[in-house]
Structure 1
């Protein structure tokens, strides 16, 4: 290995990396640690206890917020991934597509616009047309800003895939739908799954849009947690945060596992 590319030879880099990861993960570790605090005061440790996890799981309002977030995230993920997949197929595999760059910019526009602008625009639109269903408003809005997050990994997977297998399928007299179902989709499945997981996490994490479109019976988990913070931080909030961290790690591990298997299968 060349001395220029061996990062271990740069003085102070290891210490900087340690400081960086401490700065990044130490607050998370503190939240997890104090979620087991028996005392109601977060900063005063009096003993180990799991009662705040039991209290969080017994909190009906919290469970309703979790259910609402999961339902909205699932709906947004399905529609956003489907739209992103169709857009990627047209823009990457389509022939004779006019204004390709403009179309890609339009698809990725929610990434460029500040979320508050998009939220206000959606709120005004729903007010003008008299659309009052809070759950449906959240599902539509989440689908809108989740679509570009699902689009990017799917497009990258399609761009990195050669057309040899699709051309071979056409040579064997398979129609376009059969080629897509039996050849293209299995090869880009890791990208589709990565886009879906990214859209799901973004939807679950959203606060600004969910808070602006929040109505009775459609309170998402981030909005509910924000309401708890205004009342004061308790170990129950730490327990909720710890559970969210564990679920996020499980989803990320599953996504990496499936992507790794997909990549190894493609190589073989």
Structure 2
């Protein structure tokens, strides 16, 4: 008996999907509301989207988010690639190593954020963009590691053996054989780490310093004064960017060579 044949399975599934996605569509719809009051609809307008692109505070927060996401995802992808190559072969302690790499996926982010804050304060690390890059790099590693590791498992070792039979050393084999085959997984991991860092709030909130506010932190600060179509517009833009990046990561992970 398949789960689809259980009583009310489809109805419950449809109800859950409605509960999850209707608020998202409502947010996007009200981002086009011309009224200053977000919950009172008057007529459609693109004014709020124009305002968010000329608002200096939003532009500064967006720049900080992009710098943070690019730096953290690049560093995390490099470290994840090295970790995936190191754990490719079986060795004693491999399971423990992989568990440590994937630990940020299990631990509550609030705990990790508070612990990181205490660590940086104890070490005298100044809070700000550098501290956020270090913290984001740490928790983005598993998001980059998993696609790379999955791609690496699908690469047959015969290609590298053939290259070495043709007198290619390990570096040349990696550069000319392994890396081209692994590239879609690397880009998928980078994209997933990028969107994870871009959307993060808790760690950025705890570690942000003066002038290093990111978009999620800006939205949280602005929403305390009331929800406006401007906040809806920022959220809609971030939602669209996140969906596109996650879709790109999924597409890259399924590429074949």
Q: Does 1:109 align with 2:120?
A: no
Q: 1:162 aligns with which of 156, 163, 168?
A: 156
1:85 to 71, 76, 81: 81
In structure 2, what is the equivalent of residue 34 of structure 1? 30
Structure 1 unaligned spans of 5+: none
- For structure 2, which runs of at least 5 residues remain unmatched after alignment? none
What is the Cα deviation at residue 12 of structure 1?
Answer: 4.0
The 8 Å contact of residues 191 and 248 in structure 2, kept in 1 or not, is answered as: no
Aligned twin of 2:141: 147
Contact kept in structure 1, 2:189 and 2:249, CA below 8 Å: no
Structure-2 change in CA distance of 1:198 and 1:98 (3 Å): same
Cα deviation for residue 90 of structure 1 reads 0.6
**Is 2:58 the partner of 1:69?**
no
The total of aligned residue pairs comes to 257
The CA distance in 1 between the partners of 2:105 and 2:195, in whole Å, is: 15
Deviation at 1:254? 2.9
- TM-superposed CA distance for 1:33, in Å, is 0.6
TM-score, normalisation: structure 1: 0.89
Deviations 1:9-47 (A, max 9, x none): 666444333323222211111001111111111111111
Q: Secondary structure at the match of 1:71?
A: helix
Q: 1:148 to 1:253 in 2, by over 3 A?
A: closer
Is 2:225 aligned against 1:234?
no
Is 1:59 paired with 2:55?
Answer: yes
8 Å Cα contact 2:192-2:245 kept in structure 1 = no
Partner of 1:243: 237
Instruction: Provide closer, same or farther for how the CA distance between residues 5 and 184 of structure 1 changes in structure 2, counting only shifts above 3 A.
Output: farther
Q: Secondary structure at the match of 1:92?
A: coil
Q: TM-score, normalised by structure 2?
A: 0.93
Q: For 1:181 and 1:100, how far apart are their aligned partners in 2?
A: 25
Structure 2 counterpart of 1:48: 44
RMSD: 1.9
Instruction: Name which of structure 1's ranges 127-136 and 21-30 shifts more when overlaid on structure 2.
Output: 127-136
Query: Is 1:137 the counterpart of 2:123 in the alignment?
Result: no
Task: Write the mapping of 1:12-27 to structure 2, written as runs, cut at 5 A.
Answer: 12-27=8-23
Matches of 1:11 and 1:103 in 2, distance apart? 43
